[in-house]
């Protein structure tokens, strides 16, 4: 369940992140240049799909539980300085916790 919510959060963030912040996103998520070059050079994919792929690569490198990765993801988005997106992602996690009770 938590992994499913995490994937939803990654996809949501990919659709809401402005293209202008792409460089900062790569820096804060510590995505290496080779991965960025490979993903961004793929033709026929939208920016949002490429960004989701980069988020997925970041996720695969996190060897911890999905709920911990959710918090790390929100923190990294906060470091990019996207406060509205941070509040929306926090709302997703809060809603998920509330529905499990």
Q: Kindly report, residue by residue over 26-52, the tens digit of the pLDDT.
A: 889 998 888 888 888 888 889 999 999
Q: Based on the structure, what is the number of domains in the chain?
A: 1
Question: Is 65 exposed, middle or buried (CB count within 10 Å of its CB: 0-12, 13-18, 19+)?
Answer: exposed
Instruction: Output the CA torsion sign for 75, 99, 91, 32.
Output: positive
Q: What is the pLDDT of residue 97?
A: 80
Residues 6 or more apart in contact with residue 47 via CB below 8 angstroms: 19, 22
pTM of the model: 0.87
We report the CATH number of the domain holding residue 82 as: 1.10.533.10
Domain that holds residue 6: 2-100
């Amino acid at each position: 369940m938590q992994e499913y919510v995490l994937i939803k959060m990654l996809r949501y963030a990919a659709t809401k992140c402005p293209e202008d912040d792409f460089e900062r996103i790569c820096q804060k998520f510590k995505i290496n240049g080779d991965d960025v070059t490979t993903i961004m050079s793929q033709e026929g994919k939208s920016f949002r799909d490429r960004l989701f792929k980069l988020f997925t690569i970041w996720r695969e490198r996190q060897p911890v539980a999905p709920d911990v990765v959710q918090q790390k993801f929100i923190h990294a988005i906060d470091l990019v300085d996207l406060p509205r997106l941070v509040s929306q992602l926090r709302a997703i996690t809060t809603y998920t916790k509330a529905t499990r009770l």
